[in-house]
Amino acid sequence: MSASNSAKVNPSVSDYSDDIAQKQYKGYLRKEKLSTAIGRIIVGIIILGLWEGLSGRLFNEFWLSKPSAIIKRIYELAVSGDLWFHVSFTLQEALIGLAIGMVIGTLAGILLALSGKIDKWLSPYIMALYSLPRVALAPLFVVWFGIGMTSKIIMVIAMVVFVALYNAYEGIKNMDHDLIDMMKTYKAGKMKVLTWVILPSITVWILNSLRLNIGMALIGAVIAELVGSNQGLGYYITYSSSLLDITGVFTGLVLIMIIAVILEQFIIQLEKRLLKHR
Amino acid sequence: MSENLKLKLSDLSVRYSTKGQSTLAVSKVNLTVKNGEFVSVVGPSGCGKSTLLKVVSGLLKPSEGQALLDGKEIKDVPESIGMVFQNDALLPWKSVFDNVRLPLAIANKSTQEQEERAKDLIQMVGLEGFEQFYPKQLSGGMRKRVALARAFAHDPSLYLMDEPFGPLDAQTRVTIGEEFIKMWERVGKSVLFITHDIEEAIALSDRVVVMSGRPGTIKAEFKVPLERPRPFYDIRFDSRFKEIQREIWESLADIHKESEVSR
């Protein structure tokens, strides 16, 4: 029994029929991708079509604008150069704030989760800060840091830092403790444990917080701009609404959504690279 | 005599405290492993077998008694031990190759040495061609081979094995056990092996120690009078094997009876 069965247990690299199965599976995956893409396009067309068709019939175009007007506006803004002027400002604030907030939040989360006592001392205060409506802080940040980009970046950091912190913290708490014991039995130093075990363990949590934080970062940037700015999509939205230019307001909103969707695609690509072991 | 001892546990007691409760996991255990000796500990689950390994690997402090490795008291994680965990403890985000070279990377060996050693060991456990696979893509038996290759890469003088073949199915268990005993007979290092499988314990060991549970104490010790190298599977049909197997079963049955009475 042992001899004949051990041959079966022994691993063998793919044979011919396995190759065919692999190809079929790849074909199946390609079809899945295609059907997802088509489904998304259809949903988009239905929503935009209803909006376009009902605008001016079911409701007054003045209040909700319509897709064709928004597309036209985006085109005009692009031609005049205003599009990039506003988009780049908001994008810079969001991305710089996101990067700083993610690093600070993730590191704080790791340190806190590994700190033992200090974690218990600080946790109620962190929760207190987290529950602050940070929107209400926006005017304060403008007063403290001026009307320029700094106040907006600070606002973005305030929006994203807690999600990053709590995700990293939970990631550490959910880590497989056997892996840490294993590293200890090989006498691994702190840096080795960090790079071989801790960071890879919480990668999935960091990516998750990054994904949630794209939206938070854009919201933070736009809110800060609404409060006081002379540039950016938030500024463009307030400026348009003060002129009762509803198409302008919706153009700003649509641009924010487009940015969020594009940024999420980057995260999806990043996930594919970092989580290919799953 | 004493310099011939790899490991010596004397009157060892360990207390655990979890969720506000303190329990005595192991009580007054005396156990030795000689250089190059293969010792198995069998017993019912929850009898503190794994606790012993944690003490020897320096992950847990004994509350009473002494644990001596090479005559020196175990305070921190010792250099010369290698642990093989029940669940393999492979890094899921690292390839087979990287998992095997982990102990060498931790020891700051040169990249070239890491690559050569890892390649040799992967070949030794029969996983050539799977170097770039991730643990998720492997079967339970293959993951176990990776865990063994990693332990061999560390090359400890005392292997601590915590039910390493526990999660495998019966056939794979026999195959892996057979391969492991062959590899071990070549390196000839000391092993402290924890299992609840009596046949496996006899087939592998020079000595089998029987533990009873709650708190864990040593009930009996059996020398295995079977010569090496042994055929890991066929040895089970040897009359001496049967004899010792019966004795161990009886001693475990006694433990069972006692625990019934005390309840």
- Percentage above 90 pLDDT, chain A: 63
* pLDDT at residue B102 in the model: 92
Structural element, H or E, at residue A102: helix A82-115
Residue A77 lies in a domain: no
pLDDT for B238 equals 86
**Cβ of A131 under 8 Å from any chain B Cβ?**
no
pLDDT digits (tens, 9 = 90+) for A221-230: 999 999 888 8
Write the DSSP assignment of B230-259 as a string of letters: --TTGGGGSHHHHHHHHHHHHHHHHHHHHH
Residues near B160 by beta carbon (within 8 Å), at least 6 away in sequence: B53, B56, B57, B81, B82, B83, B84, B191, B192
**Residue A3 belongs to a domain:** no
User: How many whole angstroms separate alpha carbon A260 and alpha carbon A172?
Assistant: 28
Interchain contact B136–A (C-beta under 8 A): yes
Map A59-84 to HEC letters: ECHHHHCCHHHHHHHHHHHHHHCHHH
Question: Which of A1, A8, A9 has the highest number of chain B CBs within 10 A, making it the mutation to test binding with B?
Answer: A9
- Given CB atoms, is B118 within the 8 Å cutoff of chain A? no
Q: What is the share, in percent, of chain B residues with pLDDT greater than 90?
A: 13
Phi, psi for B197 (deg, rounded to 5): -95, 105
Q: Best interface-test mutation with A: which of B53, B57, B93 has the largest number of A CBs within 10 A?
A: B93
Any bridge partners for residue B210, and if so which? B42, B220
pLDDT category of residue B258 using cuts at 50, 70 and 90: low
Q: What confidence tens digit (pLDDT) does each residue in B190-201 have? A: 999 998 888 888
Q: What pLDDT is stored for residue A3 in this prediction? A: 42
Q: Using 50, 70 and 90 to split pLDDT, how confident is the model at A218? A: very high
Average pLDDT over residues B88-100: 92
Mean pLDDT of chain A: 89
Mean pLDDT confidence for A121-138: 90
- Mutation target for B interface from A183, A186, A187: give the one with most B CBs within 10 A: A186
Question: What mean pLDDT do residues B93-104 have?
Answer: 92
pLDDT in tens, A98-110: 999 999 999 999 9
Distance from CA of A205 to the nearest CA of B (A): 14
Whole-Å CA distances, B2 to B7, B70, B156, B228: 10, 9, 20, 24
The fold for domain B2-80+188-262 equals: Rossmann fold (3.40.50)
Percent of chain B with pLDDT over 70: 96
Residue A216 lies in a domain: yes
Q: Would you call B130 an interface residue with chain A, using a CB distance cutoff of 8 Å?
A: yes
> In chain B, what are the domain boundaries?
2-80+188-262
| A5 pLDDT tier (thresholds 50, 70, 90) | very low
Nearest to B46 by CA among B219, B260, B200, B212: B212
What per-residue confidence (pLDDT) applies to B259? 63
What's the average model confidence in pLDDT over A154-178? Answer: 93
pLDDT-based confidence at residue A4 (cuts at 50, 70, 90): very low
**Bigger pLDDT: B28 vs A75:** A75
Interface list for A 191-230 with B (CB within 8 A):
192, 196-197, 200, 203
pLDDT of residue B24: 82
pLDDT tens-place string over residues B37-67: 999 998 887 777 888 888 888 888 888 888 8
Q: What digits encode the pLDDT tens for the residues B121-133?
A: 898 888 888 989 9
Instruction: Give the pLDDT of residue B47.
Output: 75
Cβ contact B89–A186 (<8 Å): no
- Measured CA distances, B167 to A181, A182, B196, B208 (Å): 19, 18, 12, 21
| Residues of A whose CB is below 8 A from B135 | 277
Quick check: B92 and A278 CB within 8 A? yes
Considering only residues B91 and B256, tell me which one the structure prediction assigns the higher pLDDT.
B91
- pLDDT tens string A200-210: 999 999 999 99
Q: CB–CB of B141 and A9 under 8 A?
A: yes
More confident residue, A32 or B232: A32
pLDDT of residue B61: 86
Write down the pLDDT at residue A8.
43
Question: Is residue A249 scored above 60 in pLDDT?
Answer: yes
CA distance B193 to B205: 8
Residue A16: per-residue pLDDT = 67
| Inter-chain contacts counted by CB atoms under 8 A, chains A and B | 81
- What confidence tier does B262 reach under pLDDT thresholds 50, 70, 90? low
Q: Is residue A225 part of a domain?
A: yes
The reported pLDDT for the residue numbered A188 is: 86
Most confident listed range (A86-100, B37-51, B111-125, B196-210): A86-100
| pLDDT bracket for residue B260 (50, 70, 90) | low
Q: Is residue A149 part of a domain?
A: yes
| Closest approach of B93 to chain A, Cα-based (Å) | 5
Q: Does A13 touch chain B (CB under 8 A)?
A: yes
- Supply the pLDDT for residue A15: 58
Give the pLDDT of residue A6: 41
Task: Give the residue ranges of DSSP H helices in A149-198.
Answer: 149-173, 177-185, 190-193
CATH code: domain of residue A207: 1.10.3720.10
Dihedral angle sign, alpha carbons of residues A258, A261, A267, A269: negative
pLDDT band at B239 (very low <50, low <70, confident <90, very high): confident
Per-residue pLDDT of B141-173, as tens digits, reads 889 889 989 998 888 888 999 888 877 888 888
Task: Give chain B's radius of gyration (CA, Å).
Answer: 19
- Pick the most confident of A20-29, A169-178, B176-185: A169-178
Nearest neighbour of B106 by CB, restricted to A1, A187, A200: A187
- Domain extent at residue A166: 85-274
- Does A179 touch chain B if contact means CB atoms closer than 8 Å? yes
pTM (global) more than 0.80:
no
